[in-house]
Amino acid sequence: MHAIQKSGSGADSIMVQRLKDILEGKLEMTDTDRRFYAHTLRVVERLRAMGISDDFIPKKNASLWNNVHTAALEDFKLGNDETLRYTDEAIEAAKRQEILAFEGGCGSKTSLAKLEQAVRNESVRDLLSVLAIGLAFPSIDMLFGRYRFEVIARGELCKTYEELFEEGILAEGDFAIAIKGPHWVAPKFVAEKRYER
């Protein structure tokens, strides 16, 4: 659970706090809690089997995390529906975090509706060059899973994310959050303030 907290995910932080509250007898465990913890433990088990430490955080190597995450989902036949593994409170925390990351990358205030519109309409490459500066890859995956799953299903999200690092558009930052690389340029939608509130 330590690695989850280091990932910076608002949704994961809520779920870890729920586990602490459950262990202290303050909350009853729900099926959602069980699915989240079972999935998380399976991911850790798979990483350990590959010789990767418990504190692994995906940086530029999103494919590794994505493959382990997807295999764990398949183990439990969960699919990509976030409501099966996250409470409403955790999903709302994720959405707030996504808006803040998008605002930080765009330099202007936005709304959830505008963010959804951007995710549905802009190129994956342009979106990732902005979102990766404020969100770890698992959080980006969660966002795209909600509004544009097809780019995850065909492998475009991981491939594009890794290409941005290879091309110097993104660089490794602290934990799993990227920083602007030497070749980073603001996407056109940012310059035009297309999704400003």
pLDDT, tens digit, 9 for 90 and up, residues 8-41 = 688 999 999 999 999 999 999 999 999 999 999 9
Q: Spell out the residues 6+ positions from residue 66 whose beta carbon is closer than 8 angstroms to its own.
A: 58, 137, 141, 152, 157, 158
Question: Across the strands, what pairs with 170?
Answer: 180
* Residue 81 vs residues 25, 35, 136, 142, 143: alpha-carbon distances, Å: 28, 12, 19, 9, 11
pLDDT at 2: 46
* Residue 63 vs residues 58, 68, 158, 194, 196: alpha-carbon distances, Å: 9, 9, 6, 30, 32
Q: What is the pLDDT of residues 136-161, one digit of tens each?
A: 889 999 999 999 999 999 999 999 99
**Model pTM greater than 0.85?**
yes
Asked which of 22-31, 43-52, 55-64 is least confident by mean pLDDT, the reply is 55-64
Which residue, among 6, 1, 13, has the nearest Cα to 90 in the 3D structure? 13
Does residue 163 register a pLDDT over 90? yes
* Phi, psi angle pair for 159, to nearest 5°: -60, -45
Contact 61, 162 (CB under 8 A): yes
